[in-house]
């Protein structure tokens, strides 16, 4: 969004702000959030192994770096991975993380495929599914609102977006009746072959419960749809009554009639959540019940070279963060606490602003109750886009309009990432409150 509105900032005009704060997407470093020191220190030592002798680094940092270097060919991050899927020892670490997360449901390292980000892995799978034209074109059932990068990606690979709507009035829940409606409507225009799930929801933050997940799995099984499950915010569940359940865990607890035949691909990334290392571009997919030839094809589609090594090391750090008692544990937990406090503070604050309402989550997606004059303003822009444009012009803060997330009904939303230093987020919230009240006053 900052790129789209970039011309606003290039006119040489005096602005009432010194710099632009971009909280339109989950890029915490752009918003000023410092990186996890443990992750950066380990990667620094891996890049320059002489630092293994540097006593100023915590002992757990040097131990982890030594372990990761031992997993690299030649003990160096400059070597290729041992296989086209990635470094075997790190595949094993990810599989162990998944097994522990899912209460003992086994994960096979051979089912783990690394790539340069979850978008890249998703694109590989969509390319495999894509075929046909017109009524035979591949369709993917897609939630609205959805991740703002998803509609562009689907269009790029030639796949039809089949929308199913999440119910805001029920906390952005996914309803089985809506899936059946969307599927029936789609079959007149395309051939649906997969359903895309975002859990916890991006951008809504909604965390699906056991009943919902079971219903979706049964639906996918009965309609022979591949489950594409994006779970990149699984470590960012806020609220005492919420708990993340992976689709894989539920699938395997439903018995062999489902666990042995439902095809599923789950995606995770170092870009989102607590890790927040967007620029390193690392992600993995776990493929479940896929034919061996399909798995081999997905691996071969990455090209003749193995995935980049440094993002794989970051993935290992993500799935094996410092534990209680480790030298780096206390510093690591400080970021988790900051994000939790940010989510609570931002949600409470925005719900106190007249004409706004939102639900607590890692990425906030507040609903705007706008004056009719803004909605009807003849600018050629949707009201949410116009709102974000004016906010950037007047306050120097970049938000994401909900229409980027596929939202096209009469309820207008903005996208706001809370992965920012507490002081920066507080500044953004106060500017947003001031701007929103001015907007309301101008049109009354």
- Going from N- to C-terminal start, the domains of the chain cover 1-30+329-442, 73-319
Looking at residue 8, its pLDDT comes to 53
Classify domain 73-319 by CATH architecture: 3-Layer(aba) Sandwich (3.40)
For position 16, what pLDDT does the model report? 78
Q: Average of pLDDT values for 76-102?
A: 94
Contacts of 130 by beta carbon, 8 Å cutoff, 6+ apart: 138, 157, 158, 159
Among residues 359, 335, 338, 337, the alpha carbon closest in space to that of 347 is found at: 359
pLDDT for 3 equals: 47
**Rounded to 5 degrees, what angle do the CA atoms 192, 225, 229 make?**
105
Q: pLDDT per residue over 400-431, tens digit each? A: 999 999 887 778 999 999 999 999 999 999 99
pLDDT of 293 over the 90 cut: no
Maximum pairwise Cα distance, the chain: 70
Share of the chain above pLDDT 90, in %: 72
* Interval 73-82 mean pLDDT: 92
Strand locations in 226-352 (E):
226-230, 264-269, 283-288
Rg of the Cα atoms in the chain: 22
Classify residue 292 by burial, with Cβ atoms within 10 Å: 0-12, 13-18, 19+.
exposed
How does DSSP assign 258-276, residue by residue? HHTT--EEEEEESSSTTT-
Mean pLDDT of 313-319: 97
* pTM for the model: 0.93
The separation between the first and the last C-alpha atoms of the chain, rounded to the nearest angstrom, is 29
Tell me which residue of 393, 396, 412 sits closest to 404, measured CA to CA: 412
* 297 token code pair: 């094809």
Q: CATH classification of 1-30+329-442 is 3.90.1150.10, yes or no? A: yes
- Return d(Cα 334, Cα 36) in angstroms, integer: 10
């Amino acid at each position: 969004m900052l790129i789209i509105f970039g011309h606003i900032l290039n006119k040489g005009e005096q602005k009432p702000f010194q710099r632009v704060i971009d909280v339109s997407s989950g890029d915490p470093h752009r918003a000023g959030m410092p990186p996890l020191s443990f992750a950066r220190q380990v990667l620094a030592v891996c890049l320059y192994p002489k630092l293994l002798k540097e006593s100023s680094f915590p002992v757990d940092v040097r131990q982890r770096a030594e372990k990761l270097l031992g997993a690299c060919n030649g003990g160096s991050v400059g070597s290729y991975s041992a296989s086209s899927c990635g470094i075997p020892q790190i595949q094993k670490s990810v599989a162990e993380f998944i097994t522990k997360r899912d209460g003992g449901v086994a994960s096979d390292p051979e089912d783990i495929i690394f790539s340069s980000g979850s978008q890249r892995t998703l694109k590989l799978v969509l390319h495999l599914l894509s075929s046909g034209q017109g009524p035979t074109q591949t369709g993917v059932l897609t939630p609205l609102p959805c991740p703002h990068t998803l509609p562009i990606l689907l269009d790029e690979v030639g796949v039809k977006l089949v929308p199913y709507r999440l119910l805001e009035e029920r906390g952005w829940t996914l309803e089985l009746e809506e899936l059946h409606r969307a599927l029936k409507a789609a079959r007149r225009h395309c051939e649906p072959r997969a359903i895309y799930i975002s859990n916890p929801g991006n951008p809504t933050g909604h965390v699906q419960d056991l009943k919902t997940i079971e219903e979706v799995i049964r639906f996918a099984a009965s309609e022979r749809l591949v489950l594409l499950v994006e779970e990149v915010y699984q470590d960012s569940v806020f609220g005492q009554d919420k708990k993340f359940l992976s689709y894989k865990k539920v699938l395997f607890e439903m018995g062999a009639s489902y666990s042995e035949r439902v095809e599923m691909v789950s995606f995770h990334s170092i870009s989102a959540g607590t890790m927040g290392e967007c620029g390193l571009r690392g992600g993995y997919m776990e493929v479940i019940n896929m034919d061996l030839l399909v798995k081999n094809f997905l691996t071969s589609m990455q090209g003749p070279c193995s995935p980049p090594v440094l993002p794989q090391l970051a993935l290992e750090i993500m799935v094996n963060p410092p534990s209680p008692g480790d030298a780096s544990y206390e510093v690591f937990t400080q970021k988790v606490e900051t994000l939790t406090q940010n989510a609570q503070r931002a949600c409470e604050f925005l719900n106190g602003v007249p004409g706004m309402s939102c639900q607590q989550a890692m990425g906030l997606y507040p609903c705007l109750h706008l004056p009719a004059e803004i909605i009807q303003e003849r600018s050629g822009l949707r009201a949410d886009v116009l709102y974000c444009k004016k906010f950037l012009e007047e306050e120097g803060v970049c938000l994401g309009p909900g229409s980027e997330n596929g939202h096209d009904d009469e309820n207008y939303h903005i996208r706001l990432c809370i992965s920012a230093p507490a002081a920066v987020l507080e500044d953004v919230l106060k500017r947003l409150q001031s701007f929103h009240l001015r907007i309301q006053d101008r049109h009354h």
